[in-house]
Structure 1
Amino acid sequence: REICARHGIRQKFIKPHCPWQNGKVERLNRTLQTEWAYRQAFTSNTDRTAALAPWLQHYNTQRRHSALGGHPPTSRLPPT
Structure 2
Amino acid sequence: MDSLETVKQKVVDVIMEVSGPIGFVFILGGVVLIALKLMAQHNNPNKRSEVISGLPWIAGGSILLGTALTVANIIFQLGQ
Larger radius of gyration: 2
User: TM-score, length-normalised on structure 2?
Assistant: 0.28
User: TM-score, length-normalised on structure 1?
Assistant: 0.28
Higher relative contact order (CA 8 A, sep 6+): 2
